[in-house]
């Protein structure tokens, strides 16, 4: 299963609106089982709240072969309502008449409810209903004043759930959300009346214990929380056991204002995590040393360019119809003395956190463009080089000037440089981003969305961005040949992306089965170990000399 599969409701209905296919998300959101939906007319989900003309217009459009997009309010089994952002795409027969409709939906119920609850949410966490970070800060600031006046001591605890991201990624955000809700509930039952708990964001909670003088009392409370979390949570059909790591600091010993107290409790919590999770840790000033070590990695990384420890490897992209190499993706490596090659997944996050990604990203751009220019001069004049661009880079005010400087200096024409950006970039500050993308496009640069399916963007949303291609995420290509749900979604992505005139690239192709599936479903371009691993530039030259990866020729149309 993957994130895309879990976030989209997918159904196929026939010409009359009768369900032929529904995915599990569709069932999960509507509360109906597959057996209850298949064979039924989709109209029985109708909530009755849309005007006749709204639905009539929808039918008119799709019956004439056009794609319809809009919001629908549907009725669940049991009578409650849910909201879905909906795209309906007709499948046309030889006479251009629709014979089936593909329905793709995103559950936006929470967003709708949130609109109505905006005022309440300013101080409460929308998911768990307990106070949020803002409220905690206010409360702590006030508590510090009171404690000072009354000469009292307090404890501040920060709890972060262990491996929550994994739970969220593997079981889905809906289950992740429910889990957070129930954790908040259990925390509350462990606390005394005057204690204060808040959700600080993500899977992090903070607790204020006013008027507590002994560390032992804090430990007893933490033990009570650990015991409570040990009881498995039963969510949907899943039994989930949760562990967490606590950091603790005391007022006034470890800090005299809200900001310092919270920061020190977090430092202590991070240390507990590093020591092996599922434990608690009191703040001690030495913990600042640990922070120092992270700073050392940062500083080593900041010298990596001048010490020439950064390298680029290149992985070919193959035209799945002709077998030709049409380009290569530049992938960063850090070669540290005595430590070998370090994968970008380990140091890019640090580089992004510290802003080092800016000089590093610029080095990558320049090196990759120089290399592509060299390949062009060696006779591979049509190759495009793909470069991963982090949001931080893209959002620099002078990003386009910097880019132009690189292409001018290396003499590579913009059309042979493709910028790969992840979905997260597209989800923020939309207008400004669209403007910048349009500018880049006008200058001739190629634009691609990377790791599609891991975030929350919908295909209909992509329409607003002037991009050239879409890369289906590797996690997703993985199961394509043996998971029916994944296969349907892959087909859907390809077909809708083609509707939007996007080139579809599949990354992480490792097997012949995956390749055949992708070829049969008209995926345009492929990349993966099946063709080649990322290799140093010298070896990439040898690959290029080979020219073609022609496989399964019969399958090409
Ligand atoms: P990405 O851009 O999605 O790159 C594809 C990743 O998938 C690469 O990992 C590649 O080695 C790996 N891969 C390719 N084919 C296969 C396959 O068949 N099977 C498997 N299991 N893996 C495959 P890599 O090189 O470790 O890079 C990881 C990520 O780091 C990249 O993901 C990209 O997001 C980031 N990254 C790499 N270079 C740069 C860079 O120069 N700048 C920035 N900002 N990010 C970079
Ligand atoms: Mg990439
Ligand atoms: Mg990718």
pLDDT in tens, 75-132: 999 889 999 999 999 999 988 899 999 999 999 888 777 666 655 556 677 788 888 8
Is 10 within 8 Å of 462 (Cβ atoms)?
no
- What is the bridge-based pairing of β-strands 68-75 and 81-92? antiparallel
- Residue 420 CA, closest ligand 1 atom number: 2
Of 495 and 333, the structure prediction assigns the larger pLDDT to 333
The best mutation among 304, 344, 394, 505 to test binding of ligand 1, ranked by most ligand atoms within 8 Å of the C-beta, falls on: 344
Q: How far is the CA of 390 from the centre of ligand 2 (A)?
A: 10
d(CA 290, ligand 3 centre) in Å: 32
Judge whether residue 413 has pLDDT over 70.
yes
- Pocket-forming residues, ligand 1, beta carbon under 6 Å: 315, 331-332, 343-345, 348, 357, 361, 364, 388, 390, 420, 450-451, 474, 507-510, 527-529, 534
pLDDT in tens, 195-219: 999 999 889 999 999 988 888 899 9
| Residue 116: predicted pLDDT | 61
Q: Of 118-132, 465-479, 489-503, 518-532, give the lowest mean pLDDT range.
A: 118-132
pLDDT for position 363: 97
Q: Is a pLDDT exceeding 70 seen at residue 470?
A: yes
Whether pLDDT at 493 is above 90: no
Spatial distance between the Cα atoms of 451 and 446, rounded to a whole number of angstroms: 16
pLDDT for res 552: 44
Q: Which domains does the chain have, with CATH numbers?
A: 2-114 (3.30.450.20), 124-284 (3.30.70.270), 314-333+351-552 (3.20.20.450)
pLDDT of 553: 43
pTM of the model: 0.58
Q: Which protein residue's CA is at the shortest distance from atom 43 of ligand 1?
A: 388
Q: Pick from 358, 360, 365, 356: which is nearest to 409 by CA?
A: 365
pLDDT the model gives residue 3: 47
The beta strand positions in 177-324, using DSSP E, are 196-201, 204-209, 233-235, 238-240, 244-251, 280-282, 310-319
pLDDT over 80 at 426, yes or no:
no
Q: By the 8 A CB rule, do 452 and 430 touch?
A: no
Q: What is the mean pLDDT of residues 318-324?
A: 95
* 3-state helix vs strand vs coil in the chain, percent to 5: 45, 25, 30
The rounded Å distance from CA 318 to ligand 2 centre is: 15
Cα gap 339→310, rounded to integer Å:
13
Residue 293 has a CB neighbour count (10 Å cut-off) of 10
* Residue 508, pLDDT above cutoff 60: yes
Q: Average pLDDT for residues 334-349, to the nearest whole number?
A: 84
The per-residue pLDDT of the chain, averaged, comes to 88
The region of weakest confidence among 27-31, 168-172, 359-363 is 168-172
């Amino acid at each position: 299963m993957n994130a895309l599969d879990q976030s989209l409701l997918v159904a196929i209905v026939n010409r009359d609106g009768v369900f032929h296919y529904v995915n599990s998300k569709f069932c999960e959101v509507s509360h109906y089982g597959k057996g209850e939906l298949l064979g039924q007319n989709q109209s029985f989900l109708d909530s009755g709240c849309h005007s006749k003309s709204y639905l009539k217009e929808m039918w008119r459009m799709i019956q004439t072969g056009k794609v319809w997009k809009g919001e629908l309010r549907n009725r669940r089994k049991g009578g409650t309502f849910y909201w879905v952002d909906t795209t309906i795409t007709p499948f046309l027969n030889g006479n251009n008449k629709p014979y089936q409709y593909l329905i793709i939906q995103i559950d936006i119920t929470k967003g709708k409810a949130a609109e109505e609850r905006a005022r309440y949410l300013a101080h409460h966490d929308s998911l768990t209903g307990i106070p949020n970070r803002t409220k905690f800060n206010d409360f702590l600031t006030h508590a510090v004043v009171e404690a000072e006046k009354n000469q009292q001591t307090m404890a501040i605890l920060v709890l972060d759930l262990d491996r929550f991201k994994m739970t969220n990624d593997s079981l889905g955000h809906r289950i992740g959300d429910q889990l957070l809700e129930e954790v908040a509930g259990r925390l509350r039952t462990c606390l005394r009346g005057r204690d204060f708990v808040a959700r600080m964001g993500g899977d992090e909670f903070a607790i204020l214990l006013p008027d507590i003088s002994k560390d032992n009392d804090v430990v007893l409370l933490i033990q009570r929380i650990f015991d409570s979390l040990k009881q498995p949570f039963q969510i949907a059909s899943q039994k989930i056991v949760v562990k967490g790591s606590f950091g603790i600091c005391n007022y006034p010993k470890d800090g005299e204002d809200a900001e310092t107290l919270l920061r020190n409790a977090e430092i202590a919590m991070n240390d507990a995590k590093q020591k092996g999770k599922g434990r608690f840790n009191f703040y001690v000033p030495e913990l600042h040393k640990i922070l120092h070590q992270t700073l050392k990695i940062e500083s080593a990384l900041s010298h990596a360019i001048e010490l020439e420890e950064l390298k680029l490897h290149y992985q070919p992209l193959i035209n799945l119809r002709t077998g030709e190499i049409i380009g290569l993706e530049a992938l960063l490596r850090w070669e540290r003395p005595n430590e070998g090659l370090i994968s970008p997944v380990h140091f890019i996050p640090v580089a992004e956190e510290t802003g080092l990604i800016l000089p590093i990203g610029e080095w990558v751009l320049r090196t990759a463009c120089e290399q592509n220019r060299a390949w062009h001069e060696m006779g591979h004049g049509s190759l495009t080089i793909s470069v991963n661009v982090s949001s931080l880079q893209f959002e620099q005010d002078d990003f386009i000037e910097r880019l132009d400087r690189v292409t001018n200096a290396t003499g590579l024409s913009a059309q042979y440089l493709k910028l790969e950006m992840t979905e997260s970039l597209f989800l923020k500050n939309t207008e400004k981003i669209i403007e910048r993308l349009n500018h880049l496009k006008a200058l001739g640069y190629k634009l691609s969305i990377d790791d599609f399916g891991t975030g929350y963007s919908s295909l209909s949303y992509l329409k607003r961005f002037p991009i050239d291609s879409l890369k289906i995420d590797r996690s997703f290509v993985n199961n394509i040949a043996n998971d029916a749900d994944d296969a349907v979604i892959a087909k859907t992505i390809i077909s809708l992306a083609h509707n939007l005139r996007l080139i579809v690239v599949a990354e992480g192709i490792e097997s012949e089965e995956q390749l055949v599936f992708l070829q049969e479903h008209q995926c345009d371009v492929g990349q993966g170990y099946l063709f080649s691993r990322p290799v140093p530039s010298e070896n990439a030259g040898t690959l290029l000399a080979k020219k073609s990866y022609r496989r399964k020729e019969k399958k090409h149309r």
